Each structure stands twice: as structure tokens, then as C-alpha cells.
Structure 1
Amino acid sequence: MVINYDIPDADLYRYIRQVSRAGKAGRSGFAVNLVSDETELDALRSVAASGCFNLHELDSNDWDAAEQFLRNCTRSQRF
């Protein structure tokens, strides 16, 4: 799992390629990106639309849903 709290402005595709290394030894991984404004969210949406990754948007005010989502992700990644 990779948690990013800041998304670089330059070369978003390079950033996504680096994040994709969250998976090891042929296993899938996941990254959590915390976005603070519409510009960052639009950038992630545009890359997701190209098929590079799946984007799951969570309401920043619903901590219970975010916690459950992360629990489900980590359960599915265990050996």
C-alpha cells in the first residue's frame, strides 16, 4: 500500500507508474491519494479515464466508509 498526501504537478503519468509499484512479485497493490482540490482530483480522473487504474472516490466527511474501504483493500492483499 502506498499513501500519497501530495500529487506532483509535473508528469502525472510518471507519478502513476511509480505508484503502480505498490504491487510486488506479480501481486496487485493499491495506493491511497489524498487530494485537496478539484485540480488534483481532475488530474487523477483524467489518468483513470485512460485505463491506467481504477479510481474510487470517497467522501472526505465519511470516515467510517473510508476505514471500511481500506480494511477491504488490505484484507484482499494479504498473503
Structure 2
Amino acid sequence: MQLIEWEVNEDGYEEQIIIPKAQRDLAAKEGINTENKQKVAVRILNLNTGETYTGRLAITGNNQIYLPTEIQKMLEGAGRIRIQLL
């Protein structure tokens, strides 16, 4: 199994995080469906504070992971975060 991860800048309240095409392609090879209305297991790490969220999150119609309010608050002002599809 191949690790599927990427990093993004996160400075404010973002409701969604785009899954880059390269990561979507890797996920498909690993049998992880990233299509609209699917749920994927993710780990989100705030690289500034070390806070981690692990759970299942929904995929929106435009290949983005939807972030609930509590995760948005955890990431506010984070600077840089790492996302992993599990």
C-alpha cells in the first residue's frame, strides 16, 4: 500500500480542501474512491501545533474533502497542514 499525502497552506476557515489530481490517481490505484458523495478515511495534521484529526470525511462534487466546523477551527491559522488518505 502506498502512502497518499500532500501538504497545503491553511490560514483561515476553509470549508474544503482540494484533492490534487496526482493524489486522486494514486488513491484510485489503491482502491480508494474519491468521487462525489463518497466518504474517505483521512488524517489531517496541523504541522504548527501537532494536532491531528483522524476520521471519515465526505468528498464534494469538485474533488474536495469537506471539513466540518470543528476541524476548521483546529486548522485556523495553522500555516501548513498535511493530509493523508488512509
Q: TM range, normalised to the smaller chain?
A: under 0.3
User: RCO greater where, 1 or 2, for CA within 8 Å and sep 6 or more?
Assistant: 2
Which one has the bigger helix percentage?
1
Scaled by the length of structure 2, what TM-score is found? 0.27
Scaled by the length of structure 1, what TM-score is found? 0.28
Q: Which has the larger radius of gyration?
A: 1
Which one has the bigger strand percentage?
2
